[in-house]
Amino acid sequence: MDYKIIVDSCCDLTPEIASELEITTVPLFLRLGSREYVDDFALDLQEFMKEMSICTEGAGTAAPSPAAFTDAMNKDSFVVTVSSALSATYQNALLGAKKSIASIHVFDSKSASAGQTLIAIKLRELISDKIPKQQIVETVNGFIDNMKTYFVLEKFDNLIKNGRINAWKGKIANVLNIKLLCGSNSKGEIALYAKARGTKQMLEKMLTFISESGRITTGENAVISHCNNPSLAEQLAGMIRERFDFKKVLVVPTRGTSSIYADDQGIILAF
């Protein structure tokens, strides 16, 4: 049976990749102070980032409604949402599934951004191989439990505005060129894993995360998302291709939701 794949807009995709993988997106809403934006492919991300940089209030997101998910669930589907520890999106997708007449399974990615993209790619592979539904569910749940997602912040502006980091500490980190290497833990929460001084040290630490993860790379995929930083993303991708045996290392731009948290120049890696 051919299943539909549904994601929320924290999943980083281009329209072309979404079309190729036959993925439907249910958008989140983005907030800059009192202004609200729909995080769909019509969003002008460059203009949004420009507005976000000058906004003195915090930037945030709001989950899609259950009805929005129900509307997308017009056939048997697998749904991949941003971590339930970060958003109400997963719960709203479950509520939406209850009202759908189709057979729906909702996955809590316990991740975000590139991690969701990686799960969607895995789903498309399993569906294309005509794997039975229950086996797909079991395989993807195991994949999620073992998947690793890390991100690097080049700027701390949004964390400071949202009160997630002390303004003084953020300014010191910027001056000293300290990069925070964060990622999702086993509960889907954001955790700090390392600090790096400069780009070179950051890249080496990212490669170390892969080599020490215990993850098998042969025949598997990796995804790198970037927020207005294609050169660094491609540099990291090239280093990964040289050192590891991934089937494919996909580089994609962030969409609006993940751009809020990665901020300008941020990088996210999932494998």
What domains are there in the chain, each with its CATH number? 4-146 (3.40.50.10170), 149-270 (3.30.1180.10)
Query: Whole-model pTM?
Result: 0.92
Whole-number Å distance between alpha carbons of 27 and 76: 20
55-59, 95-99, 266-270: which has the minimum mean pLDDT? 55-59
pLDDT confidence of 172, banded at 50, 70, 90?
very low
| pLDDT tens sequence across 196-206 | 989 999 999 99
- As separate numbers, helices (DSSP H) first and strands (DSSP E) second, the chain gives 11, 13
pLDDT confidence of 182, banded at 50, 70, 90?
confident
What mean pLDDT is predicted for residues 185-192?
A: 83
- Sign of the dihedral defined by the CA atoms of residues 51, 166, 192, 80, in that order: negative
Q: Which helix (H) or strand (E) holds 181?
A: strand 178-184
Tokens found for residue 127: 């569906």
What pLDDT is attached to residue 23? Answer: 98
What pLDDT is attached to residue 111? Answer: 96
What mean pLDDT is predicted for residues 140-152?
A: 96
| pLDDT tens sequence across 96-126 | 999 999 999 999 999 999 999 999 999 999 9
- When the pLDDT of each residue in the chain is averaged and rounded to a whole number, the result is 92
For 82, 130, 177, 195, the CA distances from 28, given in Å and listed in that order, are 10, 31, 32, 31
What pLDDT is attached to residue 175? Answer: 47
State what percent of residues in the chain have pLDDT above 70: 91
What mean pLDDT is predicted for residues 56-63?
A: 89
* Sequence-ordered list of residues with C-beta below 8 angstroms from that of 54, at least 6 positions apart, any chain: none
Tokens found for residue 211: 């080599």
Q: Is 16 exposed, middle or buried (0-12, 13-18, 19+ CB in 10 A)?
A: exposed
pLDDT at residue 133 tops 60: yes
| pLDDT tens sequence across 15-53 | 999 999 999 999 999 999 899 999 999 999 999 999 998
- SS in 3 state form for 2-49? CCEEEEECCECCCHHHHHHCCEEEECCEEEECCEEEECCCCCCHHHHH
126-135, 158-167, 181-190, 238-247: which has the minimum mean pLDDT? 158-167
Q: Is 46 exposed, middle or buried (0-12, 13-18, 19+ CB in 10 A)?
A: exposed
